[in-house]
């Protein structure tokens, strides 16, 4: 999933630098191999703190905005990234892409990078909206189906199978036999009771 997300981000004509936040050293090594900056989440006491640290790092290097994406949105395409960035033209603005259930935040663009405090976690979509309103920052909500689908549950994998062909994630699922296992799970889960 990380490779699919990084591919979409790295091929955007609007993205200058890519950074990856993780507490997993293998993920940080992969980020380094592709030329991304790695931030160890563990050092910062959690994801939101790591995002704040990274945002300040980006400001120090002249960044005008920051786009935060989770790695479990493997359907994301470069066009989605470009569209989010184009929606943020004001000197101060926020663009939020909600998850399918509109509880989570699956993309957050902040201009400037520290426009609001990141509030990833339980019900982050509403928390980010509240932060934008509290700070009087213009806000746009962008519903993007490819970004809205994050892979958290077996039902998410089932949806992904319908749309994910051609991604590295789908190829990996085929390689490890997960496609067949998900299909078997769905058949067992949705059989009518006699």
| 18-71 pLDDT, tens digit each | 999 998 899 999 888 888 888 887 766 788 999 999 999 999 999 999 999 999
Tokens coding 12: 């955007």
DSSP, res 41: G
- The pLDDT value recorded for residue 39 is 85
Tokens coding 53: 């640290």
The CATH class, in words, for 2-148 is: alpha beta
pLDDT digits (tens, 9 = 90+) for 58-99: 999 999 999 999 999 999 999 999 999 999 888 899 999 999
- The pLDDT value recorded for residue 42 is 74
Provide the 3-class DSSP secondary structure of residue 145: helix
Instruction: List where CATH 3.90.550.10 sits in the chain.
Output: 2-148
Residue in 52, 76, 39, 120 with CA at minimum distance from that of residue 85: 76
Q: How confident is the model at residue 191 (pLDDT cuts 50, 70, 90)?
A: low
Q: How confident is the model at residue 188 (pLDDT cuts 50, 70, 90)?
A: confident
Mean pLDDT of the residues in the chain: 91
- Mean pLDDT of the region 103-108: 97
């Amino acid at each position: 999933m990380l490779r699919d997300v990084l591919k979409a981000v790295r091929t955007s004509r609007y993205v200058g630098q890519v950074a990856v936040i993780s507490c997993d050293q293998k993920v940080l090594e992969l980020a380094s191999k592709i030329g991304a900056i790695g931030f160890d989440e563990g050092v910062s006491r959690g994801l939101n703190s790591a995002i704040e640290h990274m945002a300040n790092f980006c400001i120090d290097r002249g960044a005008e905005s920051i786009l935060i994406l989770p790695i479990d949105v493997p359907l994301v395409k470069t066009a989605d990234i470009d569209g989010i960035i184009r929606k943020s033209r004001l000197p101060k603005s926020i663009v939020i892409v909600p998850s399918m259930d509109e509880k989570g935040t699956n993309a957050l663009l902040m201009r400037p990078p520290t426009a609001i405090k990141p509030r990833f976690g339980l019900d982050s979509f509403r928390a980010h909206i509240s932060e934008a309103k509290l700070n009087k920052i213009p806000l746009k909500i962008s519903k993007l189906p490819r970004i809205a689908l994050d892979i958290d549950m077996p039902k998410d994998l089932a949806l992904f199978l319908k749309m994910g062909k051609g991604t590295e994630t789908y190829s990996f699922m085929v390689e490890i036999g997960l496609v067949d296992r998900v299909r078997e799970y769905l058949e067992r889960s949705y059989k009518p009771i006699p």
